[in-house]
Amino acid sequence: MPTTAAPTPQAPKYVYDFSEGHKDLKDLLGGKGANLAEMTNLGLPVPPGFTISTDACRAYLAAGRAPDGLDAQVGDYLAALETRMGRKLGDPEDPLLVSVRSGAKFSMPGMMETVLNIGLSDASVSGLAAKAGDERFAWDSYRRLIQMFGKTVLDIDGEHFEEALEASKRAKNVATDVELDAADLSVLVDSYKAIVREQSGRDFPQDPREQMDLAIRAVFDSWNTERAMLYRRQERIPHDLGTAVNIVAMVFGNLGPASPDAISNSGTGVAFTRDPATGHSGVYGDYLPNAQGEDVVAGIRNTLSLTELENLDKTSYDELMRIMSVLESHYRDLCDIEFTIERGKLWMLQTRVGKRTAAAAFLIASNLVDEEVITPDEALDRVNGNQLAQLMFPQFDLSGTPKRIAKGMNASPGAAVGRAVFDSYTAIKWSRSGERVILIRRETNPDDLGGMIAAQGILTSRGGKTSHAAVVARGMGKTCVCGAEELDVDTKARRLTAPAGVVIEEGDLVSIDGSSGAIYAGEVPVMPSPVVEYFEGRLGPDSSHADELVRAVHRIMTWADEKRALYVRANADTPDDAARARRFGAQGIGLCRTEHMFLGERRTLVERLILAEDDSERRKVLAELLPMQRDDFVGILTAMGGLPVTVRLLDPPLHEFLPDLTELSVRVAVAEARGEEHENDLRLLQAVHKLHEANPMLGLRGVRLGLVVPGLFIMQVRAIAEAAAQVAKAGGVARVEIMVPLVGAVQELEIIRDEARSVLDEVTETTGADIRALIGTMIELPRAALTAGQIAEAAEFFSFGTNDLTQTTWGFSRDDVEAAFFSAYLDRGIFGVSPFETLDRDGVGRLVSVAAEEGRAARPGLKLGVCGEHGGDPDSVHFFHDVGLDYVSCSPFRVPVARLEAARAAVNNPRA
């Protein structure tokens, strides 16, 4: 047990030895620190060290300086570490060196990169060389420190260091940095120090404690860098978590052999307990001899496969396999591991539950249930709706034998097509212009994060499955092909050259297959994914054509349907949409929009209805519309086979049915100039002028239209009732829910309800059919939500129209504001995500909660649902479950996502 130090009197405890934590303290110690503590407590070979907590980071960011007591606590824990190691930080004779690593609760590629070898200086480099018996190793460690420190702490453009390194290799006529000797590296150190002086205006710090303190503060500052905030917005990570800092005693994978004639037995690597791309069991990872940790993930040299380590150092390999088995058993999941071997001694530098592709997530969850490691409920919690949506994306159709120009590592699956771009700025710029792009780099680094988010896919010529590009792409669900060594990527000339002289210039179309690693020139056509074929019913899980992924999805969706409390319906307006919704697992229609039935040829009938000068003419038009509407509803009710169908009565702004005012004015003017007959157009123009609205979205629509245009809603109710009677007569069952839109006052609903009930009773008496119909309303106005208790006395169900409820609550016109200023709101952190994508819980969600509670208080049996597209958003589905709704409704394609998320919500928060 290492010696630990108490916090400074009256100061909060900010620092924790690895022995003081465990894996469940991620909020306090960050993911990296919590897992280092967990491995320490498991007795695994972890270099000693300590963690500065997220509390310290939050206090630092709030005050703009280190909180009182932090420096003293760091000093105490550093002294304890020095005592344990028997060396002092930066001692000229025998220096203790440490790494400084960021470590937030969630893994964040946008955070500060690790700084290794803190404590090296002009005074201690010779001592390190003497103790190690390896002068080259010492100078290599020193140049790495200056390069990392300059880039990450002093914010110097890394290209300056890369250019100096390339110049050194050219002068020696070698291809890699490992071929530079001690003298070469000593000269390179001088070049690096000159770069620091020129670019930062100060000398590289020689005091070891100053190096460490500056690195700690740089980690804190990196929490609010642009790329970190961008990643948090992308992944919906809260901005107030802060990051921990880990100070770890250095172990060296770039240390040469103990004697000149021995084989090098030092190196570094990254390993996975299962394949993060496919989910298959086995040995997966990369190893790089004579290297430090960042070399592997940076992709600066192509790595060896982990299996090749067995031939290089079987003792370390066997020990690594044992530890990987221990960690997977302990964490009960795929583990991502970083390790270093120092002259045959294996050290564990990090572990975490590994990021994985969507396909791997489903396969691993299913397999772990088979292995009796986790339960089906836990399996549901290991996957999510966004991953399922990724599996439903199309795949390449290779039947046309497209031109494959190269092959790399299948780092993150998917089929991505786009125009080739060679830097992050261009990727972002072109993407904002509507172009699909593929970001092509030799290797990526955290500065490329914005471009990676903007791109359809990422292609690199260096690096393996554990490189920065691969790890980040998998985390974001982006298609990625890495390590395509056949490609010569020239970022300055903005082109890549493939074998046989094939050249892809910037702007040329390229297609990459993250499942196979294949790279194609031009655009490759796509075909439906097997998972969509499964949901469509064209590929059974027991079919010989179904692969293990389809079977895993089927199992998990079966568990989901058994677990969830929410019903899932679909928004569907046609019989074809309704049939597809059922195939995808919908349990009814939550929104059938009747306005879509009045477009096309029927639009002229609506114009006639609006122009009608008396009741007789209006009734004539409605009589023509009635059979058309009835046939529409017969088709939909038949397709749903007795499942509930919620029909929303007409709810578009009236102007959508009328000709454009300017266009109609020109038409009338031209006719008058030519002396042509134009009486009908003139009458229509007068009507359009009369009905013209400055803000149609808040004008004559919804229930207001039904009250102002006599007979319109009654015609629709009659069509619904007669359709239900016709279906019943044919031996079917029709369960209808008639929804009155845009109600703001209970009196509006009462008038329409009473008229509708009269029609339903009349049709029931006339036909003798058992017409099962509820009458309710859509809650899409704040006033409706706040008077829900009154409205519930007249409504048998509520369906929350969260699209319009969001617009009216925020005062946003969605069509106008998303393009106008949403990007600025996202950039400034006012939104973490658009409120039209994920429900605004604090505002709109509060209205939903109030309406649900007060509505059910007035009518205990009130049915509650939601029919905005939020019904298919994973995060929003959890809210609707928690608030106690009966169902969610979304587009047919998102029905499986809603089914899965409804089950995950039930796992995390079971209903009584």
Q: Read off the amino acid at residue 59.
A: A
Write down how long the chain is. Answer: 912
Catalytic residue among 482, 592, 867, 890: 867
Integer-rounded Cα Rg, in Å, for the chain is 33
Pairing of strands 88-89, 98-104: unpaired
SS3 364: helix
Handedness of CA 211, 217, 223, 227 (dihedral sign): negative
The continuous run of DSSP H or E covering 618 comes out as helix 615-640
- Number of Cα atoms under 13 Å in the Cβ half of residue 6: 3
The continuous run of DSSP H or E covering 830 comes out as none
Measured between alpha carbons, how far is residue 544 from residues 540, 541, 698, 703, 878 in Å?
Answer: 9, 8, 55, 53, 36
- C-alpha angle with apex 775: 770 to 779, nearest 5 degrees? 155
- C-alpha angle with apex 331: 326 to 337, nearest 5 degrees? 65
Sequential DSSP letters for 181-246: -HHHHHHHHHHHHHHHHHHHSSPPP--HHHHHHHHHHHHHHHTTSHHHHHHHHHHT--TT--EEEE
Instruction: For 751-778, give one letter per residue: b (16+ CB within 10 A) or e.
Output: bbbebbeebbeebbeebebebebebbbb
Round to whole Å and give the CA distance between 907 and 566: 12
- Number of Cα atoms under 13 Å in the Cβ half of residue 396: 27
Catalytic residue among 57, 160, 468, 480: 468
Could you tell me how many helices (H) and strands (E) the chain has, helices first?
36, 33
What are the residues whose beta carbons fall under 8 Å from the beta carbon of 472, sequence distance 6 or more?
109, 444, 449, 452, 478
160 given a catalytic annotation: no
Phi/psi of residue 879, nearest 5 degrees = -65, -45
Phi/psi of residue 24, nearest 5 degrees = -90, 5
468 given a catalytic annotation: yes
Q: Which residues are catalytic?
A: 468, 867
